[in-house]
Amino acid sequence: MRTAVLLAVLTLTAHPGLAQVHHFEKRLPAEGLVTLDVHTERGGISIVAGAPGEVVVGGTARVRIGWAVPPDADALARATAEAPPITSEGSTLVLRPPADARARAAVTLGYEVRVPPATALVVRTDSGAVSVTGTTRAVSVESGSGSITLRDLGADLQVKSGSGAVSATGVGGSVHATTESGGLTFERIAASLEAATGSGAVKATFSGPGDVHVRTQSSAVSLYGVDGGLRVETGSGHVSVSGRPQRPWQITTSSSSVDLALDPASAAALDVATRSGSVRVEELDVTGTIDKRHVAGALGTGGPSVQVRSGSGSIRLRRTPEAP
């Protein structure tokens, strides 16, 4: 019994704030605002498009739990919520973690912001989740380990993640994305894509023309509706691509299979080979050489080069089913 009581006392001492949360909301005029620059250490960041003439900065100052938390953590969190670190630098609104070291040790600060739609965004967090919805200018997001969720963006997107998954639905411009171990999922990209990942899968669909370049060390790559140039490099992940070559296509994999579906109207110069797998052609009119491990010739009237290389995986060439 004495051991249990002692443990309870030690637990209360180690968690002085018991996770108190203080909320805040500040309304600011949006006149002259071009960019929102947000950085948190551990707190999440949520940004949505709101009214054109106003910025609403809300969020939470949450007392941290741990042995190193100051004994007056709740007071520091309350003070942070009463005067959150919001500043302006020219046409940029800047949101930051607490400047005071004791406050940073005591508080996890998260932001929930509504901005005019035509606001450019620069977002960084060490480990918090990030979500952005509905803005129409360029977006840049960087996260160490938190997830990133993006929707209905009207311009270019640049995103970098250490180990958190990244998903974006509806991007009106080009996408440049890198992650060390998280997956990348994009739907309805209106322009080009450049993506690189260490071990996370890459999946993307396209709603407009643009070139695509994807690099991954060991994960699957799935691309649908490619309408431009293409380059895919992977060590061991399965590759699935559909679309229409408008410029050269190149797919290289060391040991994985490849499924390539070409638009019925496609015209291309095929050069497809595997060292130890097989090549299969289905419902495509190819003029040239077709054997077990190599296909070379013209698809239709010929056109941009389509080169596929696999070390030990099989390759399937087929026609994309026509829409009903």
DSSP 160-209: EESSS-EEEEEESS-EEEEESSS-EEEEEE-S-EEEEESSS-EEEEESS-
* Predicted pLDDT of residue 5: 29
**Would you say residue 45 lies in a domain?**
yes
Residue 196: count of CB within 10 angstroms of its CB: 19
Q: Which residue has the tokens 């060490």?
A: 126
- The tokens describing 134, both together, are 């509905």
In-domain check, residue 163: no
More confident position, 149 or 10: 149
Split at pLDDT 50, 70, 90, the class of 3 is: very low
Percentages helix, strand, coil for the chain (3-state, rounded to 5) are: 10, 55, 40
Contacts of 319 (CB under 8 A, 6+ apart): 261, 262, 263, 264, 282, 283, 284
Does a structural domain hold residue 87? yes
pLDDT confidence of 38, banded at 50, 70, 90?
very high
Least confidently predicted of 62-71, 123-132, 182-191: 62-71
In the structure, what pLDDT confidence band is assigned to residue 165 with cuts at 50, 70 and 90? Answer: very high
pLDDT band at 322 (very low <50, low <70, confident <90, very high): low
Structure tokens at 226: 């490619």
Is the pLDDT confidence value at 323 over 90?
Answer: no
Q: Is the pTM of this model over 0.85?
A: yes
Residue 275 lies in a domain: no
The count of other CB atoms within 10 Å of the CB of residue 78 is 16
Percent of the chain with pLDDT over 70: 93
Q: How far apart are CA 87 and CA 116, in angstroms?
A: 17
Is residue 224 a part of any domain in this protein?
no
Cβ atoms 284, 270 nearer than 8 A? no
Average pLDDT over residues 65-88: 94
Beta-bridge mates of residue 269: 298, 305
Token pair in block for residue 160: 């970098």
pLDDT digits (tens, 9 = 90+) for 264-293: 889 999 999 999 899 999 989 899 999 999
Inter-CA distances, 68 with 15, 16, 209, Å = 9, 10, 53
DSSP 74: H
In whole numbers, what is the pLDDT of the chain averaged over residues?
Answer: 91
| Residue 300 neighbours by CB under 8 Å, 6+ apart | 265, 266, 267, 268, 285
DSSP reduced 3-state for 244: strand
Q: Per-residue pLDDT for 11 more than 70?
A: no
User: How far, in Å, are 265, 268, 270, 275, 317 from residue 250 at the CA level?
Assistant: 19, 12, 10, 17, 14
Q: What residues make up the domain containing 113?
A: 16-118
Q: Which two tokens stand for residue 139?
A: 């977006």
The end-to-end CA distance of the chain, in Å, is 73
pLDDT in tens, 136-161: 999 999 999 989 999 999 999 999 99
Q: Which two tokens stand for residue 236?
A: 């061991």
- What is the token pair recorded at 118? 């035509």
Give 164's pLDDT tier (boundaries 50, 70, 90): confident
Mean pLDDT of 295-300: 94
The phi and psi torsions of 240 (rounded to 5 degrees) equal: -130, 120
For the segment 80-86, the average pLDDT, to the nearest whole number, is: 96
β-strands 184-189, 35-40 pairing: unpaired
Average pLDDT over residues 54-58: 97
pLDDT at 17 over 70: no
Q: What is the pLDDT of residue 9?
A: 30
Which pLDDT does position 321 carry in this prediction? 75
- Say how many domains are in the chain: 1
Residues contacting 25, CB < 8 A, separation 6+: 56, 57, 58
What does the longest C-alpha to C-alpha distance in the chain come to? 87
Copy the structure tokens of residue 224: 């649908």
Q: What is the mean predicted confidence (pLDDT) over 237-251? A: 96
Residue 6 has pLDDT above 50, yes or no: no
Q: What angle do CA 22, 27, 30 make, to 5 degrees?
A: 140
Q: Which of 279, 316, 303, 323 is nearest to 229 (CA)?
A: 303
